[in-house]
Chains A and B, each alone.
Chain A
């Protein structure tokens, strides 16, 4: 395969992958912002699960700039980062919010939480 074709293929692959990441993250931001509007009404505490330090950092930046309300953030890059099945009282009573990408990545851990009705998959 010619070099320019290989470069183009890699670029499209990179663009599609990053595009998917961005879309998923935008979904998370919009939904968190709308949940923020409901905060005064009084809800259970919320924990957001992301799978990269980048997303966690951006969420914290948005919190510092007061664009998003403050939530606890958990970074789960590998399944071993989180031992949900053995923690029945995981993060107390808080409601967990994950994007569908993170959910499918760690569904074996997170499916049990969904059965407890403590998980929102965006």
Chain B
């Protein structure tokens, strides 16, 4: 770990954490941060580089960077953004941590909006959505006007707002959870920081892991309705050819979704430095105290990822299988329907418990005992679902075609 630059700002309110893993071609967010309408002392900029590269893209904006840290991870280790989030949280001096894209544009009121939002709603986690423009003529970044980004080529602009903020049908996939997430540093430390579990290795990751756990711990999630970020196209923006951890088919981590569903607040793998801060066992403040767990250097190695061994370490003793909770015990496996976990059903604990020595045997027993009687119903349900979804998609397709023919914009 090596510092290129260390922050000298005494009391910033906001700490912006920007990441790089030797891939970023442009850090133009720094240009827009230099044009903010608040006192520069109110915010600090922290750059975390995963490997050892001293990026040339940062040099033109070096005066805007307060802390610049190289984690110096070995070149044969795959990138893990959550480790960088944790380094940023430890290094941050501000009350509010902002994890955001470093290649996006922001308006002059960006920092002011964040500060105001936290003054008005202290117990929140704030997200700021992003306009995305797919025009390739804006690459390499040429400092377009904001209106240019939100007009021709913009894929998610609806009446001056982003589709994610306007649409309330599929929030998780329409909103850009990775664009900008803001939370109080103390809150982030209280939930154990970002999860360093191997499931978040590579492209399937994001600050939403912390958002979901903050929601589980009682914080309110807010999406800013008037402040946005602006992103223009660049190669590799969708994580092409990147390693992907478990996701739901639309690049949302299923491990993070499981945390949301189960109400979990702590990470599966907590960073030691964050833990020390949380338990106040280590009084040494600052990123000098940041520690990277030694096993990560092995399990995140490209060689081991190629072997496909990462899923072994991802196994846990508790699994969900077809609506049943499967727990591994010293004697074997035990399964019970998921609703029994609810306190209202606690009196029925044991009534539906199924035991087996192996997981395969347990699955077979569960099918025999509970699922078998639905053998005739399930094919009918399957058929109905296929037919109705096919009809629904056909109708959607025809509506879009009709919209194009009549020159209407279909949203």
Contacts and interface: CB of A to CB of B under 8 A. Distances in A.
A34 B339 contact: yes
B71 to A, nearest CB: 32
Main SS class of interface, B: helix
Nearest to B219: A111
A119 B348 CA distance: 17
A114 to B, nearest CB: 6
Interface stretch (B8-16, B383-391, B402-410): B383-391
B249 A105 contact: no
Contacts of A80: 168
A17 B389 contact: yes
B92 to A, nearest CB: 26
A64 interface: no
A20 B337 contact: no
Interface in B358-411: 370-371, 373-374, 377-378, 381-382, 384-386, 388-390, 393
Interface residues of A, number: 47
Contact of A30 (B172, B371, B382, B384): B371
B175 to A, nearest CB: 11
Contacts of B172: 104-105
B140 interface: no
A26 B378 contact: yes
A20 B385 CA distance: 11
Interface stretch (B37-45, B97-105, B106-114, B255-263): B255-263
A9 interface: no
Listed residue (A17, A18, A77) with the most chain B CB atoms within 10 angstroms of its CB? A18
Interface string A85-99: 000000000010100
6 contacts: A26-B371, A31-B323, A31-B338, A34-B370, A62-B377, A111-B215
Q: Which 7 A-B pairs have the closest CB atoms?
A: A27-B323, A79-B168, A54-B388, A100-B261, A120-B342, A78-B168, A120-B339
